[in-house]
A and B are shown apart, each in its own frame.
Chain A
Amino acid sequence: MKLVIGIVRPEQANDVLEALYRAEVRGVSLSRVQGHGGELDRVETYRGTTVKMGLAEKVRFEIAVSDEFVDPTIEALCEGARTGEVGDGKIFVVPLERAVRIRTGETDHGAVTPVGS
């Protein structure tokens, strides 16, 4: 069981969701985050104030999957999020100790497997 964390461009978020859906990865959380990862930043001007916007808007996907789904999930994230420009984002895979489905009390593999599959 792994937790796959993907940080992607907001404008690619829909494409990522589509790719995940096609890969039959169904349990997804996402949140809006700000960060930077070495990409060029934007210069903006408001009246006399010029600023470098050091943080870029990103969307963070969190997907808990059983081991056999780790690679398809990573492939789907890459497929949906890649534009080829600096700033496409990163994927982190971390081990997951336990998972519980609150409604049924199922744990671990059962908890991260979508209902009905």
Chain B
Amino acid sequence: MKGVNAGDTAWMLAATALVLLMTPALGLFYAGLVRSKNTLNTFMMCIAALAFATVMWAAVGYSLAFDEGNGFIGGLDHVFLHDVAFTPREGTTIPHLLFFAFQATFCIVTVALVSGAVVERMSFGPFLIFASLWSVLVYAVMAHWAFGGGWLQAHGTLDFAGGVPVEMGSGFSALAAALVVGARKDYGRQALLPHNAVYVLLGAGLLWFGWFGFNGGSGFSTGNPGILAFTNTLLCPAATLVVWFLLDLVRDRRVTAIGAATAIIVGCVGITPAGGYISPGWALALGALAALPSYAIIVWRPRTRVDETLDVLAAHGVAGFTGILFIGFFAQQSWNGVADGLAYGDASQLGHQALAALAAPAYAFAMTFVLLKAIGVLMPLRGTPHDEAIGMDVRHHGEEAYATGEGAILITAEAGVAEPVPVGDPG
């Protein structure tokens, strides 16, 4: 076994922090896309992932994902960080503890991603339960398949930074969640518009920044695969942006800002599985290609009755699917040192990739569907139409994102007003 490498460890410490930033960045991105009365609730779903996914990951998720176990799920030897310390994680040159933290940030952001399907109507309590269980039952299982020595990895599926557990896992779970929770009461009746496009752009920019740690760190070293993935994370989303601009121009003769923010995400997602396996040239091609199916679904989906509110399926599920399959065609051993794709003479790699592209969506969708149905039996997943009309911020958090303070009456400790009272009788 190799020892701990100082350079690799230094980079992975930074990369872990970069990936952690993606979750509040996603919160900002999502918060800008909803109506102002749901700003805080939407952001808080991402913050909740920082809380609950992290604790669940430390408790059992990490072990089930990365302990040996069987092909489907890992074992329980690392429950509560048992045996996770300073010796290198097998196959890497970084301390096991750091490997754990890096992987934790992936679990967190993936849980946060799924919230995009249910914002503006799902109650906060049931969401916390869902997020906690989902991080184990869906994320940890799929992470084991792709990264932890599970059956997909054993079959030879290449997934550099999480096309299977992160992107397809969140995207197809989002579709199931939207179907179980149901549409917002005003969906299809009123225009439900993003309330702050600047948040959306800033959130997308910060996500892209964090994604350099996400993809660049997934080589677990400062070696070539990480460098390749890092630079591909610059190139691929840029190509997606260019194509998205053109698609916008063709469709409406104007280039939209929220479209651009979406394109950044789609490009980053597309390169996530493929980052360390394809050449920079093919990364540009992947970025251009990935724009097409995601754009089509984003245009089509709001005309359906499926209120998958923030298009997690299109931006993550479908772009991840594109990226996973792309490896099967254009992986290049001279760049990645691992395997060739169909275009470079190895057709079997496409088969391995196709297997992942079928299994991951099927499992994510089915498990999320069952999980939410089960929670729904125990408690209502959403509040009344009246709650929804008031907005989730006031209903679930007792705060407003844009409180002006006008008409606010200070409640002092002596007065101690706990119950709402008529305004005419201020006590």
Partners in one complex: yes
Residues of B within 8 A of A43 (CB): 398, 411, 417-418, 420
Q: Is the CB of B421 within 8 A of A14?
A: no
- The complex places the Cα of A54 from the Cα of B404 at a distance, in Å, of 12
Chain B, range 350-405, C-beta contacts under 8 Å to A: 386, 389-390, 394, 398-400, 403, 405
- The complex places the Cα of A117 from the Cα of B398 at a distance, in Å, of 48
State whether the Cβ of A11 lies closer than 8 Å to any Cβ in chain B: yes
Contact A46:B399 (CB < 8 A) given known A38-B423, A54-B408, A54-B426: yes
A36-67 to B contact mask, C-beta < 8 Å, 1/0: 10111111111001111111000000000000
State whether the Cβ of B304 lies closer than 8 Å to any Cβ in chain A: no
Chain A, residue nearest B395 (CB): A42
State whether the Cβ of B407 lies closer than 8 Å to any Cβ in chain A: yes
- The complex places the Cα of A43 from the Cα of B408 at a distance, in Å, of 9
Residues of B within 8 A of A53 (CB): 403, 407-409
Interface residues of B toward A: which range?
20 to 34
Q: Is the CB of A11 within 8 A of B389?
A: yes
Residues of A within 8 A of B414 (CB): none
Q: Is the CB of A44 within 8 A of B399?
A: yes
State whether the Cβ of A9 lies closer than 8 Å to any Cβ in chain B: yes
State whether the Cβ of B281 lies closer than 8 Å to any Cβ in chain A: no
State whether the Cβ of B91 lies closer than 8 Å to any Cβ in chain A: no
Q: Is the CB of B407 within 8 A of A34?
A: yes
Least Cβ–Cβ distance between B394 and chain A, in angstroms: 6
State whether the Cβ of B406 lies closer than 8 Å to any Cβ in chain A: yes
Residues of B within 8 A of A42 (CB): 394, 398, 420
Residues of B within 8 A of A68 (CB): none
- The complex places the Cα of A78 from the Cα of B189 at a distance, in Å, of 19
Listed in ascending order, the chain B residues whose CB lies under 8 Å from chain A are 186, 189-190, 386, 389-390, 394, 398-400, 403, 405-411, 417-418, 420-424, 426
6 new A-B contacts, CB < 8 A, other than A38-B423, A43-B418, are: A9-B389, A34-B406, A36-B407, A46-B403, A54-B423, A83-B386
